[in-house]
């Protein structure tokens, strides 16, 4: 089953063209890593999937439901707000800056959206949230405020918070880039575990080792285009494009 289908996505910030005709399909259970230099448009691509950015042209389909497509006038048309919101919360997202709610404890961060958005009762969602916290190894922190946690712990809470909405797809926007190097391991471990459970994942990352080990497909982006894609072996061992070769060399 196709989880994500992008056709010919264009996106500009004023005169700056950030995405220039991106097409991409992601199937169920697939883990896709997106790599590329900063400014290549990889984060923007991810943010276009759940309407954090709106596209100018092209079609976005999530689980065979149209989120945005070209209208009769050739301009991009989004579906109605409530419909769009319903489509988008099937995708959980983890941010570089965590974006936890600082005024809520860890457990309240996790149960907030299921209660408010889905109307799930507190006594039903609390045990689920506690399970998720055990899974990311933070059960004992459930009553702490986010400011008391390390970066790695915050990011694991953010993962649990996203999972509490029972998403079909998880989007990771440079989840380890704001972390001290010794803390990236615990976050990558949680992500690796998700991949093993066949979660569909789209990961924008600078962690080449993670992309190589966990992803089934690696996409290299530069200047708003997909330059090259393939299995990790193909892309990391035998890159075809000159730009890919140069980028990989610079990452060593």
Residue in 56, 57, 66, 89 binding another protein, rule: CB under 8 A: 89
Q: Which C-beta is closer to another protein: that of 67 or that of 227?
A: 67
Q: Which C-beta is closer to another protein: that of 26 or that of 235?
A: 26
Minimum distance from residue 236 beta carbon to another protein (Å) = 30
Instruction: Give the alpha-carbon dihedral of 47, 39, 208, 149, to 10 degrees.
Output: -60
Q: Report if residue 102 touches another protein, rule: CB under 8 A.
A: yes
Whether 142 and 133 have beta carbons less than 8 Å apart is answered as yes
Residue in 9, 22, 91, 201 binding another protein, rule: CB under 8 A: 91
Q: Report if residue 149 touches another protein, rule: CB under 8 A.
A: no
Q: Which stretch, 83-91, 133-141, 195-203, 228-236, contacts another protein (CB under 8 A)?
A: 83-91
Q: Report if residue 187 touches another protein, rule: CB under 8 A.
A: no
Q: Which C-beta is closer to another protein: that of 43 or that of 244?
A: 43
Q: Report if residue 112 touches another protein, rule: CB under 8 A.
A: yes
- Environment class of 72 (CB within 10 Å of its CB; exposed 0-12, middle 13-18, buried 19+): exposed
Closest CA to 161 of 106, 203, 199: 106
Task: State the Cα–Cα distance between residues 25 and 62, nearest whole angstrom.
Answer: 10
Q: 3-state DSSP call for residue 168?
A: coil
Distances (CA, A) of 111 to 97, 108, 116, 144: 20, 5, 9, 14
Question: What backbone torsions phi and psi does residue 69 show, to the nearest 5 degrees?
Answer: -155, 170
Q: List the alpha helices (DSSP H) in the chain.
A: 42-49, 81-88, 106-118, 122-135, 151-163, 184-196, 208-214, 232, 242-251
Total residues at the site for another protein (CB under 8 A)? 30
Q: Which C-beta is closer to another protein: that of 85 or that of 242?
A: 85
Q: Report if residue 209 touches another protein, rule: CB under 8 A.
A: no
Task: State the Cα–Cα distance between residues 231 and 78, nearest whole angstrom.
Answer: 33
Q: Report if residue 199 touches another protein, rule: CB under 8 A.
A: no
Whether 23 and 1 have beta carbons less than 8 Å apart is answered as no
Q: Which C-beta is closer to another protein: that of 162 or that of 218?
A: 162
Q: Which C-beta is closer to another protein: that of 115 or that of 248?
A: 115
Q: Report if residue 165 touches another protein, rule: CB under 8 A.
A: yes
Q: Report if residue 168 touches another protein, rule: CB under 8 A.
A: no
Residues near another protein (CB under 8 A): 50-52, 85-86, 88-89, 91-93, 95, 97-104, 112-113, 116-118, 145-147, 161-162, 165
């Amino acid at each position: 089953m196709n989880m994500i289908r992008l056709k010919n996505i264009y996106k500009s910030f004023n005169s700056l063209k950030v995405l220039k005709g991106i097409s991409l399909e992601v199937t169920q259970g697939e883990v896709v890593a997106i790599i590329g230099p900063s400014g290549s448009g990889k984060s923007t691509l991810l943010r276009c999937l759940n309407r954090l950015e709106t596209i100018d042209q092209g079609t976005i389909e999530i689980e065979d439901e149209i989120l945005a497509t070209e209208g009769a006038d050739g301009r991009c048309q989004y579906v109605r707000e409530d419909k769009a919101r319903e489509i988008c919360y099937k995708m959980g997202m983890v941010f570089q800056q965590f974006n936890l709610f600082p005024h809520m404890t860890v457990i309240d961060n996790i149960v907030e959206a299921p209660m408010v958005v889905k109307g799930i009762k507190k006594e039903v969602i609390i045990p689920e949230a506690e399970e998720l916290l055990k899974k990311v190894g933070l059960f004992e922190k459930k009553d702490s405020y986010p400011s008391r946690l390390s970066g790695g712990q915050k990011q694991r809470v953010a993962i649990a918070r996203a999972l509490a909405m029972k998403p079909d797809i998880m989007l990771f926007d440079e989840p380890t880039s704001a972390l001290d190097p010794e803390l990236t391991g615990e976050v990558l471990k949680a992500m690796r575990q998700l991949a093993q459970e066949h979660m569909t994942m789209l990961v924008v990352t600078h962690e080449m080792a993670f992309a190589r080990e966990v992803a089934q497909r690696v996409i290299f982006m530069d200047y708003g285009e997909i330059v090259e894609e393939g299995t990790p072996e193909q892309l990391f061992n035998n890159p075809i494009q000159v730009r890919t070769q140069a980028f990989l060399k610079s990452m060593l």
